[in-house]
């Protein structure tokens, strides 16, 4: 995934009300920007940090600027949770995720079941339909990428939906995309949301496949880098 245009560097003043942040631009002016991230963003909202912004070309947008990246622990991390679906779509289309290669059709945001929508639906002849749920991972603890960074009833529901598809004979995959390059493995953040962590272990035991890939980030864009091992616990 490439950014549409060059990003603009700024300095973070504060994040507040989840979807807003104030930043100081290079000329000293203070601008309120949109934060496309409903999570806690632990470790990624330190005042004074260098951040990078994108500017919308839509004159009707209330906030012209969006927060994309932050420098954290000497590297870049992406705070915009709107990107992983596009990153996953491009990676699967290019065959960069071997576990999901070989499908003829990839559809996005497909409705299924009762009031559910899957991020990616893969289809091909002579193989079961594959439902892929994509989650952005930004939390890091002791070198591990961890999810979620706040309690997520919605995320737990998604795991239940995937388990149901397995029971119906489909293939179901939980795909975690780590939006930073400094993690060596993946763990569920059970100390934050034990219900989600237990649901993930239960879903895996019932046939939901679990994958985690780290991403390579630059000021130009974000792409799949490498698979990470998983430690799901007991």
Residues 64 and 146 placed together within one structural domain of the fold: no
3-state secondary structure of 85: helix
Cβ-contact 23, 12 below 8 angstroms:
yes
- Give the pLDDT of residue 116: 84
Q: Is 57 part of any domain?
A: yes
Average pLDDT, the chain: 96
Q: Nearest CA to 135 among 221, 72, 63, 199? A: 199
- Give the pLDDT of residue 19: 96
- Give the pLDDT of residue 16: 96
- Give the pLDDT of residue 129: 96
- Give the pLDDT of residue 39: 92
* Residue 115, pLDDT above cutoff 90: no
Token couple for 28: 């000293």
* Residue 113, pLDDT above cutoff 80: no
Which of 34-43, 111-120, 147-156, 225-234 has the weakest average pLDDT? 111-120
* Residue 141, pLDDT above cutoff 90: yes
Q: What are phi and psi of 159, to 5 degrees?
A: -65, -40
Tens digit of pLDDT for each residue in 54-82?
Answer: 999 888 899 999 999 999 998 999 999 99
Q: Is 1 part of any domain?
A: no
Enclosing domain of residue 122 = 84-227
* Residue 233, pLDDT above cutoff 90: no
Domain total for the chain?
Answer: 2
* Residue 114, pLDDT above cutoff 80: no
* Residue 92, pLDDT above cutoff 80: yes
Pairing of strands 171-178, 144-147: unpaired
Average pLDDT over residues 192-197: 98
Residues 46 and 123 placed together within one structural domain of the fold: no
Residue 200 sits in a domain whose CATH number is 3.40.1350.60
Residues 216 and 183 placed together within one structural domain of the fold: yes
């Amino acid at each position: 995934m490439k950014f549409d245009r060059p990003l603009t560097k700024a300095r973070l003043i504060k994040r507040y009300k989840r979807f807003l942040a104030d930043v100081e631009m290079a000329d000293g002016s203070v601008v309120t920007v949109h934060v496309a991230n409903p999570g806690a963003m632990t470790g990624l909202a330190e005042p004074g940090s260098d951040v990078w912004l994108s500017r919308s070309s839509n004159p009707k947008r209330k906030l012209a600027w969006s927060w994309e990246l932050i420098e954290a622990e000497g590297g870049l991390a992406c705070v915009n949770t709107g990107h992983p679906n596009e990153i996953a779509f491009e990676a699967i289309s290019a065959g960069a995720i071997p576990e999901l290669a070989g499908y003829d059709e990839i559809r996005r945001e497909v409705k299924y079941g009762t009031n559910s929508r899957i991020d990616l639906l893969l289809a091909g002849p002579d193989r079961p339909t594959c439902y892929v749920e994509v989650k952005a991972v930004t939390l890091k603890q002791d070198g591990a990428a961890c999810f979620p960074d706040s309690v997520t009833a919605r995320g737990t529901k998604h795991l239940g939906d995937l388990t149901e598809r397995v029971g119906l004979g489909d293939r179901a995959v939980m795909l975690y995309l780590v939006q930073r390059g400094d993690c060596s493995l993946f763990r569920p953040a059970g100390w934050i949301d034990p219900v989600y962590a237990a649901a993930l272990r239960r879903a895996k035991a019932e046939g939901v496949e679990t994958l985690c890939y780290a991403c390579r980030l630059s000021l130009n864009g974000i792409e799949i880098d490498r698979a990470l091992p998983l430690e799901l616990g007991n």
